[in-house]
Amino acid sequence: MAGSEGMDNVVARVTVLDAPDGPSWLKGGELILTSTFLFNNDPDRLCSFCEQLIHIKACGFGLKMGRYLTKVPQSLIDLCDRNNFPLIIIPYSFVWTDLISIFYEMSYNLEREGKYSTLKSKLVGQIRVSANQGLEWIGEKVHLFFDTPMLFLDQRWTPLACCGSQAEQQELKQTTLELLREMPDLWSKKLISGRYYQCCRCILEKFGAHYVVFSSDSPNIIGELKDILIDARIIRDDERLMLGSEDDMIGQALPLLMVGEQISPGLLENLEQCIKQTGGYYCMLNIEACATQKIVDELKDIIRSCRFDTKVFAVYHLEKLRAVVLLRFHKLKQHCDAAIQLRQIMHGAGEYLLDEETHESIFVSNVYDAYKKLGQCWQEARLAEQYGRHMWPLRRLCYFEEVFPYYLMMNSDISPTYLDGLEKLRQEAGNTSFDCLQTLEAYLRYGTFKQAAQELFIHENTLRYRIKKIGDLLYADFDDIATRQNYVIRMNMWKLKQGLTGTGDTAPDGKMPEL
């Protein structure tokens, strides 16, 4: 939020302070975390506390917002900016011990093995697991890790993928083009306008990428990144490590589903053995318009706040703005427990989509206890999207179990007259002063005249008159609950049929896509 000039401060310790005399217990160099309990809507007290932290040379101040403090005072932002003192907002659902344990784990490893060794090994492992996940996935991982843009090129030096911010991508492409004109071959640590540029052979030849170019303002990072790419190639070539764990195997299976390829029987068999040993369940999410990792990070925060023994796996298809996510539930004895946990997680995800006004939509499969159904799980998530977007276009969260009855009906021999009533309403468009289909749909969706009338911007009595007129046209009594339920199903079938075929007629083969 403020004090960005102090982001190079060295973190000696991480501690939580919620006591008014807490600063007197510090030695300096601490990253201070607080729930803001002491400063409930008291900006002056918060600024005074921060001044003490600056005086004893703490390295930063982390606020957990939402419960006691809902807005960061401008006076605090100005104070931190003047003193180059980093002010950081911590998500409300983030667990203190998770943040502290990350710091001490990193500190121990960095002291024991050197500044980058452990972090490098983790990134190398991610690159190895990503053997089937594509150029964009690896580029984004490296960029998030080192804040280093990357450009992948084929054998003819044609750009294939570029990762980083738009400004970084544009600068990297332009500089690479200029360097290729001067030296059409590999180059090492070329310094241009304060930034170093490096070109080396790529580890992803299977995707057509033979070269990779990356840049940084630090020569050390350039060297470390080159070592990582070399290490990753060595590890990836060791086939014995490819199926080392259940997580590794899932990392290989998800990209295959995204591109429509079959998972090998050997891989499925190994996954099946893992789930039998550990126990548990899983389900698949298909996230539409997912351009970043933010929605997946939010899912992880929701799961962490619920304290479920659940793990999230994700793979991205950035060109189509789509993500496939696998939720794996462990240590559960009953299927219904996994289904209830899934509902709780997705309830939190639905609230996030509503509050943040994001563009993502999430489509959820059923819960299973066998990886052999992984392909069916993916098909269910896709069908939830295919059907749900036609029947409920405004909904951001849709379960396959909700569309399953309509899937069965669309694949059965329904009487041709089943939707004739709605076809008659469509034909009446020119004979009435209002849209009969739109009016009936609003009434069926809310089930009350008051809410439906508000959506249609008409008086409640006007809506009552129109529904009675529609009932007369169809010889249907909409005061009867059974009739309303019947027409809810018919209306959804009507919208689904219109959306899937585009004409209202049946598909050429009379059937919808099969599981």
**Domain ranges, residue 40:** 4-103
Do 266 and 325 belong together in one domain?
yes
Of 393, 322, 394, 400, give the one whose Cα is nearest residue 363.
400
User: Does residue 506 form part of some domain?
Assistant: no
State whether the Cα torsion 107-251-386-321 is positive or negative.
Answer: positive
Do 312 and 402 belong together in one domain?
yes
Give the end of a domain, one of 68, 103, 138: 103
Q: For position 108, what pLDDT does the model report?
A: 52
Do 383 and 471 belong together in one domain?
no
User: Does residue 210 form part of some domain?
Assistant: yes
User: Does residue 393 form part of some domain?
Assistant: yes
Do 267 and 396 belong together in one domain?
yes
User: Does residue 511 form part of some domain?
Assistant: no
Count of all residues that appear for the chain in the document: 515
CA angle at 119 for the pair 318 and 132, rounded to the nearest 5°: 35
Do 164 and 85 belong together in one domain?
no
User: Does residue 397 form part of some domain?
Assistant: yes
Do 297 and 362 belong together in one domain?
yes
Residues 131-190: tens digit of each pLDDT: 556 677 777 777 777 778 888 888 778 888 888 888 888 898 888 888 887 776 777 778
The whole-angstrom separation of Cα 202 and Cα 209 is 6
The whole-angstrom separation of Cα 54 and Cα 272 is 55
With a CB cutoff of 8 Å and minimum separation 6, the contacts of 59 are 6, 9, 10, 11, 12, 29, 30, 31, 86
Give the end of a domain, one of 213, 239, 265: 239
User: Does residue 515 form part of some domain?
Assistant: no
- Where would I find the H helices in 28-95? 43-55, 74-82
Structure tokens at 391: 């029947």
Do 131 and 154 belong together in one domain?
yes
- pTM attached to this predicted model: 0.48
Q: For position 251, what pLDDT does the model report?
A: 75
Residues 230-244: tens digit of each pLDDT: 544 433 333 333 345
Q: Please, are residues 137 and 315 in contact by the beta-carbon 8 Å criterion?
A: yes
Q: For position 127, what pLDDT does the model report?
A: 56
Do 192 and 307 belong together in one domain?
no
User: Does residue 514 form part of some domain?
Assistant: no
Could you give the count of Cα atoms lying within 13 Å of 301 in the half-sphere of its Cβ? 16
Q: For position 505, what pLDDT does the model report?
A: 38
User: Does residue 509 form part of some domain?
Assistant: no
Which DSSP category does 428 fall into?
G
Tally of domains in the chain: 4
Residues 310-358: tens digit of each pLDDT: 888 888 776 577 888 889 888 777 888 888 999 999 999 988 888 877 7
Q: For position 204, what pLDDT does the model report?
A: 66
State whether the Cα torsion 383-387-389-394 is positive or negative.
Answer: negative
State the CB neighbour count (10 A cutoff) for residue 416: 8
Do 230 and 278 belong together in one domain?
no
Strand, coil or helix: what is 184?
A: coil
* pLDDT tens, N- to C-terminus, the chain (515 residues): 899 888 888 888 888 888 877 888 888 888 989 888 877 767 778 888 888 899 888 999 998 887 777 788 888 899 999 999 999 988 877 777 777 777 766 665 454 444 444 455 555 555 554 555 667 777 777 777 777 888 888 877 888 888 888 888 889 888 888 888 777 677 777 888 888 888 887 766 666 777 888 888 877 777 777 766 654 443 333 333 334 567 777 877 887 777 777 777 777 877 877 776 666 788 888 888 876 778 888 888 898 888 888 888 888 776 577 888 889 888 777 888 888 999 999 999 988 888 877 788 999 999 988 877 888 888 899 899 888 888 888 888 999 998 888 888 877 777 767 777 777 777 776 677 778 888 888 888 888 888 888 888 889 899 888 888 888 888 888 888 888 888 888 888 878 877 766 544 333 333 434 44
- CA-CA distances (angstroms) from residue 350 to 67, 295, 343, 368, 419? 21, 11, 10, 22, 32
Give the end of a domain, one of 205, 239, 273: 239
Do 77 and 185 belong together in one domain?
no
Do 58 and 127 belong together in one domain?
no
Structure tokens at 450: 């008051």
Strand, coil or helix: what is 15?
A: strand
Q: For position 426, what pLDDT does the model report?
A: 77
Do 260 and 377 belong together in one domain?
yes
CATH for 299: 3.30.70.600
CATH for 155: 3.30.450
- Where would I find the H helices in 183-293? 219-236, 246-258, 265-278
Q: For position 180, what pLDDT does the model report?
A: 81
